[in-house]
Amino acid sequence: MTLILRRGDLEPLVDMRATIEAVDAAMGDVARGTAVQPAPALMRLPGSDSGFLPMAAASQRAGLAAVKLLADVPANAEHGLPTQRSSIVLVSTDTGEVLAVLDGAIPTRIRTAAATAVATRHLARPGSTTLGLVGAGALAVAHVTAMLEVLPIATVHFWTRSRATAHGFQKAIEQHGLKVRLLESPHAVAQSVDVLCTLTPAVEPVVHGASFVPGLHVNAVGARPRPDHREVDTEAILRSRVFVDSLPTVRQKSGDIVIPVNEGALRFDDLEGELGSVIAGLHPGRKSEDDITLFKSVGLGLQDLAIGRLLVDAALATGRGVHVDLRS
């Protein structure tokens, strides 16, 4: 039987602390050789700006193979529809049975925040107390929740173009009891924080390396998975020790990295390497208090797999979802 989990089934099952630990273990497993994470191939039809990205992975730890199909349809914005949609299929590595099919919106949101928290745990200064956010939508709310699990955050500085979004963000995180300030620019945010997260669907840079201060850790998260889209400029990459979630994936679909390489300012070999190698103890993370570190997050099918395992187990324990016999 296959378990079908809709968005409404998944929301009550989210456990951010458990999600962070699952993503941490999964990313380390790639470096340890007990998980497989191939680079995805972006599919586009002639004359269309839409992209379709199958994100596959397999994990010995979870006993699963998985694929998430991400549909990136920018034109949806004109019709009030989500520009990105996804679904996740989980398959048993023992029997090949399709164990579950999940709506991808909630797993994507929480896995993105969890991956940022994992990177911050391993790369930021341990005593960091001030979090900066460029962008203040649902992903920013999830990032605050995740960061509180790994750092003693007391203050949040953020920037957004929309006053309505700013108000909604402040209301959404008020239960945490943090000191929250809306600043006038991304530059002002970057100059005033210990950890900076960029969370916008930008095409051109909104954050510049000239704003970076010694000791800063940056998570570049929001740009779409396209080689011509980026949130941070070339100077930001050149001033930082850069870690990524997947080198093959970054080479194909991260404009934050691909554009500086195409400019001749950077080589892929200049990157520090994958975060999983830091987690597994195979590569050093932060080397000094003054290091500027940057984690480029493009998102991995293995992260979706790890979170899918958690959500399916929680759904089975609580009786959520619908069971379907796909063979009948």
Average pLDDT score over the chain: 95
| pLDDT at 136 (0 to 100) | 97
Say how many C-beta atoms besides its own lie within 10 A of residue 12's C-beta: 10
Decide: residue 203, CB within 10 A, 0-12 exposed, 13-18 middle, 19+ buried. Answer: middle
- Of 184-188, 217-221, 324-328, least confident by mean pLDDT is 324-328
pLDDT-derived band at 226 (thresholds 50, 70, 90) equals: confident
36 Cβ partners below 8 Å, 6+ apart?
30, 57, 58, 59
Mean pLDDT of 205-220: 98
| pLDDT at 158 (0 to 100) | 98
Residue 277 CA, chain-centre distance (Å), reads: 17
Over 90: is that where the pLDDT of 39 sits? no
| pLDDT at 315 (0 to 100) | 98
| pLDDT at 328 (0 to 100) | 84
| pLDDT at 164 (0 to 100) | 95
pLDDT-derived band at 41 (thresholds 50, 70, 90) equals: confident
Mean pLDDT of 191-213: 97
Helix 16-32, helix 138-147: angle, nearest 10: 80
| pLDDT at 145 (0 to 100) | 97
| pLDDT at 122 (0 to 100) | 98
Share of the chain above pLDDT 90, in %: 90
Mean pLDDT of 68-83: 91
| pLDDT at 42 (0 to 100) | 83
pLDDT tens digits, 273-315: 999 999 999 999 999 999 999 999 998 999 999 999 999 999 9
Where do we find the tokens 């932060």? 286
What is the second-level CATH architecture of the domain 2-107+302-324? Answer: 2-Layer Sandwich (3.30)
pLDDT-derived band at 225 (thresholds 50, 70, 90) equals: confident
pLDDT-derived band at 268 (thresholds 50, 70, 90) equals: very high
Over 90: is that where the pLDDT of 231 sits? yes
| pLDDT at 118 (0 to 100) | 98
Mean pLDDT of 142-147: 97
pLDDT tens digits, 97-120: 999 999 999 999 899 999 999 999
Calculate Rg over the CA atoms of the chain: 19
Q: Is 2-107+302-324's fold the same as 124-299's?
A: no
Domain boundaries, the chain: 2-107+302-324, 124-299
pLDDT tens digits, 240-258: 999 999 999 899 889 999 9
Residue 295: enclosing H or E segment and its boundaries?
strand 293-296
What is d(CA 99, CA 24) in angstroms, rounded to the nearest whole number? Answer: 23
pLDDT-derived band at 228 (thresholds 50, 70, 90) equals: very high
Say how many C-beta atoms besides its own lie within 10 A of residue 4's C-beta: 16
124-299 domain in CATH 3.40.50.10490? no
Over 90: is that where the pLDDT of 61 sits? yes
